Amino acid sequence: MSGIAIEDDWEFASPSTEDPWSIVLVGRTGNGKSATGNSILKKKAFQSKNSSSGVTRSCELQTTLLGDGQILNVIDTPGLFDFSVGADFAHKEIAKCINMAKTGIHAVVLVFSARNRFTEEEEATIRNLQSLFGKKIIDYMVVLFTGGDELEDNDETLEGYLGDDCPQPLKEILSLCKNRKVLFDNKTKDEFKRARQVDELLALVNNVVMQNGGRPYTDDIFVEMQKHTKIIRNKQAELETLQVQHQSSQEIAGLKQLMHDLYQEQLKHITEMVESKLHETTVKLEQQLAKEQAARLKAEEFAQLAHLQSSDEIRQLRENLESARAETERLRKQAERETAILWLKRSLLRAQMGTGEILKRAESHSAVLWLHRSLERAEKETVELLHQAEKHSAVLWIRESVRKLQGKLNINANQGV
């Protein structure tokens, strides 16, 4: 079942447990929105199969009754924000989605796939939702990951999957949603597991409803839709009256055509409001982008000037440093020369002092040699004199002896006379 059925309960009422909850499944084509909807409904209500182009061609609503008696409307959507989707188609489908959520949106379920890498389209989804519904829509968001079977086959948990390698934009989305997330395995045959993951999702939805005071998300588009719904409801009441009164088929056909025209007019009006709101948001974003771009250009110019100034300062510092290094080298060489001269002077002084000492020592040594030689000559002369003295003494002794002998001879001669 696709499209929208005109019903007689389109009145906005104050929140109560009897009001149905409406959750909208949003995400890129192929992420498993329809399969997730079937898991929630516990039946194959939405057409779901592997397809690169997507199976869901238009917004579709299915209803289920939860165990606590709560009526739950599940709205499946095509890839509304895929880059390949035309603007006209997206606007009409968004209008249909809003038209289906009669009492407002209780939760927006962002469906991502753990099988596929996070893409720019998915990063843009939350921006587009904010552009259309305002920042308040974030308070109604829940993040759901399909592909739980693949993580289980790889012995990996959702927390592990969202670990260090998690893209920064996805981390930011989870942070905006206050980490409201759940993992789904739409292929499992385990009834307990299927029931548990649905309960986890519904607990998050219930948490969203409670945090928002039980009030679904509504805005001026929903209010305008309410006005048109009242008109259609009144016409439907007239139709029922005519049918009861067995009026002519021509009158009944005319009223049905009028209701159809009113519905088409309502849908067209909502579509125009969506387009207008998106256009207004786009203009604001473009203006903001222009301001940011101008500020960025100014900052870049300032940074460039600062860079140039910094470059000049760095160049000047380098020149000063080179000059300081050159001066240091010059002073070092000068110091080396002065040190060398001082060393030479000291060496010469030490040499001069050494030379005087050597001369003194040389003079002293010459004197010793002279004395030694003089002593040698004296010793030789003494020996010679001794020899001469000995010779002289012998001569004297001989002379004395001869004299004495002559004396004795004279005495004897005298006695003989």
User: pLDDT at position 196, please?
Assistant: 95
User: pLDDT at position 9, please?
Assistant: 37
User: pLDDT at position 139, please?
Assistant: 93
Enclosing H/E stretch for 141: strand 141-146
Q: What residue ranges of the chain have pLDDT lower than 70?
A: 1-18, 49-56, 80-88, 90-91, 219-248, 251-252, 255-256, 258-260, 262-286, 351-352, 354-368, 371, 378, 382, 386, 389-417
User: pLDDT at position 135, please?
Assistant: 84
Q: Label residue 247 exposed, middle or buried (CB < 10 Å: 0-12, 13-18, 19+).
A: middle
Which of 88, 127, 102, 134 shows the shortest CA–CA distance to 272? 88
User: pLDDT at position 367, please?
Assistant: 66
User: pLDDT at position 106, please?
Assistant: 93
Residue 94's CB is within 10 A of a number of other CB atoms, namely: 25
User: pLDDT at position 300, please?
Assistant: 82
Provide φ and ψ at 127, rounded to 5°.
Answer: -65, -40
Q: What is the pLDDT of residues 223-264, one digit of tens each?
A: 666 666 666 666 666 666 666 566 667 766 776 676 667 666
Q: Label residue 175 exposed, middle or buried (CB < 10 Å: 0-12, 13-18, 19+).
A: exposed
Provide φ and ψ at 24, rounded to 5°.
Answer: -115, 125
Domain residue limits, the chain: 16-218, 219-355
CATH number of 16-218: 3.40.50.300
Residue 66's CB is within 10 A of a number of other CB atoms, namely: 13
Q: How far apart are CA 109 and CA 97, in angstroms?
A: 13
User: pLDDT at position 4, please?
Assistant: 37
pTM listed for this prediction: 0.56
Q: Are strands 60-65 and 71-76 parallel, antiparallel or unpaired?
A: antiparallel
Q: How far apart are CA 232 and CA 4, in angstroms?
A: 14
SS3 2: coil
User: pLDDT at position 262, please?
Assistant: 65
Residue 270's CB is within 10 A of a number of other CB atoms, namely: 23
